[in-house]
Amino acid sequence: MAFGRLLLLCNFSYYLGPLQVSFIKMGKDVAKYAVILALIIFSFTAGLGRLYQYYDGMVQVDPSTGDKVQQVSSFVGPLSTARTLFWALFCMSPLESTDVVIENRARGAVNTHGFTQAVGALCFAVFHVICVVLVLNMLVSSTTNTLQKVIDNVNVEWTYSLTEVQLNYLAQSTLPPPLNLIPTVSGYRFVSEWIRYLVAPPGTKRNKWSLMYCCYKDHAHEKCAEKNFPIVMSQLVQRYFREKEQKSEENNHISQLDSLRKELLECKTAVRRLMEENTQTDTVVP
């Protein structure tokens, strides 16, 4: 996990950065479909395990040759059924998993449960169609669509991810794991300051220790800032909505003036039309 974190350094490359973003987004798609696959495997595990648990450990003897055939342990229990269905996703389960083997009758006659074996084979085939054909193809389509979206919008996606990584590394003074095991100059300076403040603590700083943060310094002004932060944020939000309301009111006034101007122009054209009609009637009457 420590060495895997070094993959984030690929975001600094223009060619590897979009691939890193696509890799993370594809991982989220795989996690979504893993939930669906888990539900499907659990449901078929319950059904097939209940169907084949009666034949667990049964051995059939051929009366002519004396050969013994034992029931395959693919679906006789919940764990074995889940394991068989999981490897069936990768086409690594044998076709003989659905065979039914039952003990001989009293006189040595061979007994078969063909209907049970047909139902088990049908359920196994339906599982292959649902998971291997449908769900896995849907997963491939989703990951392809995710990759195409990142490539089409590479400037925004990669720039945002690069900025996030840069801010993450600027906020900390140590190197990313596993390189953080190497002591740095800032680490020596922090340890020396922590020991100095422990011996002679000033009035504004106090040395503390916890399991989560190990050794750290508690600043008095930071507590004051934490108390004032909600007040400042509420004031900023109120100012934002106030400016937004003022802009909306100004836009309403402008729209009202535009509508009034249009009405005045329409009245002016109507009056001019009436005056022209009156002049025409005055010249025609004599």
> What confidence tens digit (pLDDT) does each residue in 157-204 have?
788 888 887 777 776 666 666 777 777 777 777 777 777 777 776 666
Q: Are 233 and 241 in contact (CB under 8 A)?
A: no
Q: What is the pTM of this model?
A: 0.54
What is the Cα–Cα distance from 111 to 234, expressed in whole angstroms? 80
Per-residue pLDDT, 109: 61
Q: Provide φ and ψ at 171, rounded to 5°.
A: -75, -20
Burial class, 235, CB count within 10 angstroms (exposed 0-12 / middle 13-18 / buried 19+): exposed
For the chain, domain boundaries = 3-160, 174-219
What is the Cα–Cα distance from 128 to 90, expressed in whole angstroms? 10
Tens digit of each residue's pLDDT (9 = 90 or more) over 195-206: 777 777 666 666
Contacts of 147 (CB under 8 A, 6+ apart): 22, 26
Per-residue pLDDT, 286: 46
